[in-house]
Amino acid sequence: MAEKPTITRKTRGEHSISVFVSHELKSRIQALADKYDRTAADMVRAVLRIGIPMLEGVSQAEELMVRDYVELFRKLRQVKALKEI
């Protein structure tokens, strides 16, 4: 009996990602790509390279603000408790 041929499927590697965006965002990305004679994928890669450090900075600032706010709130509660005594 003849063996069935093995079908090899190409898989997307660990390096790819699929993202659904609005039509408006896609058209803005495509317009930029057309304007600067690049592909939409190149524009998305550039936005990610620029945006990730910015997002990290905003996230760190937000974390610091929340931590300081909680610390301030605790101090105010302690002061209020001391005044009630």
Q: For 5-17, how does the pLDDT look when each residue is reduced to its tens digit (9 = 90+)?
A: 676 666 667 788 8
Average pLDDT, the chain: 88
Quick check: 67 pLDDT over 90?
yes
Read off the amino acid at residue 8. Answer: T
Give residue-wise pLDDT tens across range 26-53: 999 999 999 999 999 999 999 999 999 9
Sign of CA dihedral 67, 70, 73, 75: negative
pLDDT in the model for residue 14 = 76
